[in-house]
């Protein structure tokens, strides 16, 4: 059952791979216009709640061929099959981060899964296109959709990288004063990431901080792409040392369908500790082979839980967003 659910999730994350042996560089897909509702999941409409979540979806699209037969390394945000591939993961995140918040998730020209197997130089060159969209979306959100409310920044994988970049490049004191917390999950915050707004979380309810971790079965399963984080936090006990989080502290693993409805849920099955040497979150209580996908083997070997770590810690993350928001509003009320 878990295997079937995982494969369903992965299919929601991707479009079918359609040849990747071309050598010419096609024109970029059309840039999103964030003044248009089509550029946002759900039209970019809030629900009148007290705070917002600005969410950046992870990598969900393989290389694909354009009308000329050239390979493209970016999502086409106006292609229905591409949008369908990201909507399932967006709904998963909405359930975690926006259980009591307004939810804003832009479509953007994310770089493809194959792009992450390239050199650092190629990754950064391509990611510049993705980040230009994210930056434009965030600025439009702040100026036209946020209406001065406190907010959470969140993203996973490529989306986590984008959250780090936003904190480094597009944050200011007046905006940071409204930041409840940032969740650049599944992506390392390295020593080269420098910003006064990059403050690591140290507990379950500090605010204005970032939360990150990368989940593996053993430290050697942490790939080079996701290694080098200068800090991490354990989502079971919200500690930054190696003290294990117990199964009793595991509030629930959740898998969802494409429409966001819950397919399966199981609590008190996972324990985890932070490895002192690598900052990897080492997870126990599950079978690594059950969550391995051969199609992604070049990026995530057996025992690397990157693709499913939001599922594993769904209920712990969901509660944590609420706890940090409550702490933020309590501090505001005390001032």
What percent of the chain stands above pLDDT 90?
A: 88
Q: At what angle do helices 2-13 and 80-97 cross, to 10 degrees?
A: 120
pLDDT tens per residue, range 239-283:
999 999 999 999 999 999 999 999 999 999 999 999 999 999 999
In the prediction, which pLDDT does 27 show?
79
pLDDT tens per residue, range 12-34:
443 333 333 333 455 799 999 99
Residue 101 has pLDDT above 70, yes or no: yes
Tell me the average pLDDT across 149-176: 97
Tell me if 131 sits within 8 A of 139, measured CB to CB: no
Task: For residues 127 and 148, give the distance between their C-alpha atoms in angstroms, rounded to a whole number.
Answer: 29
Output 308 or 5, whichever has higher pLDDT: 308
Domains of the chain by residue range: 2-334
Task: For residues 164 and 174, give the distance between their C-alpha atoms in angstroms, rounded to a whole number.
Answer: 18
Tell me the average pLDDT across 102-117: 96
In the prediction, which pLDDT does 275 show?
98
Residue 151 has pLDDT above 90, yes or no: yes
In the prediction, which pLDDT does 26 show?
59
Confidence of residue 137 (pLDDT cuts 50, 70, 90): very high
Tell me the average pLDDT across 144-152: 97
Task: For residues 16 and 82, give the distance between their C-alpha atoms in angstroms, rounded to a whole number.
Answer: 10
CA distances to 105, 128, 168, 216 from 137, rounded to whole Å, are 9, 14, 16, 32
34 Cβ contact list (under 8 Å, min separation 6)? 40, 44, 106, 136, 137, 140, 141
Q: Which of 85-89, 148-152, 297-301 has the lowest mean pLDDT?
A: 297-301
Supply the mean pLDDT for the chain.
92
pLDDT tens per residue, range 304-322:
999 999 999 999 999 999 9
pLDDT tens per residue, range 82-96:
999 999 999 999 999
Task: For residues 224 and 227, give the distance between their C-alpha atoms in angstroms, rounded to a whole number.
Answer: 5
- Backbone φ and ψ for 231, nearest 5 degrees, come out as -160, 160
pLDDT tens per residue, range 180-199:
999 999 999 999 999 999 99
Residue 9 has pLDDT above 80, yes or no: no
Tell me the average pLDDT across 34-42: 97
Output 123 or 8, whichever has higher pLDDT: 123
């Amino acid at each position: 059952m878990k295997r079937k659910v995982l494969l369903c999730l992965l299919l929601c994350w991707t479009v079918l791979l359609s040849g990747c042996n071309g050598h010419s560089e096609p024109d970029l897909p059309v840039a999103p216009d964030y003044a248009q509702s089509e550029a946002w999941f759900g039209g970019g409409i809030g629900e009148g709640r007290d705070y917002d979540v600005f969410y950046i979806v992870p990598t969900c699209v393989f290389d694909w061929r354009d009308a000329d037969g050239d390979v493209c390394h970016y999502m086409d945000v106006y292609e229905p099959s591409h949008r369908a591939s990201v909507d399932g993961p967006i709904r998963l995140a909405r359930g975690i981060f926006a259980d009591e918040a307004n939810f804003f998730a832009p479509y953007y020209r994310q770089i493809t899964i194959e792009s992450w197997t390239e050199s650092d130089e190629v990754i950064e060159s391509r990611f510049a296109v993705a980040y230009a969209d994210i930056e434009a979306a965030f600025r439009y959100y702040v100026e036209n959709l946020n209406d001065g409310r406190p907010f959470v920044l969140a993203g996973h994988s490529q989306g986590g990288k984008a959250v780090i970049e936003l904190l480094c490049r597009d944050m200011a004191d007046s905006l940071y004063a409204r930041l409840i917390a940032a969740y650049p999950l599944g992506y390392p915050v390295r020593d080269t990431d420098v910003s006064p707004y990059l403050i690591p979380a140290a507990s379950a309810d500090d605010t204005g901080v970032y939360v990150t971790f990368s989940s593996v079965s053993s430290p050697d399963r942490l790939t080079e792409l996701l290694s080098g984080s200068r800090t991490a936090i354990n989502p079971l006990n919200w500690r930054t040392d190696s003290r294990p989080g117990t199964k009793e502290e595991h509030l629930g693993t959740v898998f969802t369908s494409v429409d966001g409805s819950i397919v399966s849920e199981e609590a008190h099955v996972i324990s985890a500790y932070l490895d002192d040497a690598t900052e990897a979150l080492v997870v126990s209580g599950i079978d690594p082979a059950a969550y391995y996908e051969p199609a992604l083997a070049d990026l995530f070997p057996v025992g690397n839980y990157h693709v499913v770590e939001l599922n594993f810690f769904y209920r712990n993350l969901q509660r944590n967003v609420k706890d940090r928001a409550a702490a933020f509003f309590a501090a505001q009320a005390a001032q």
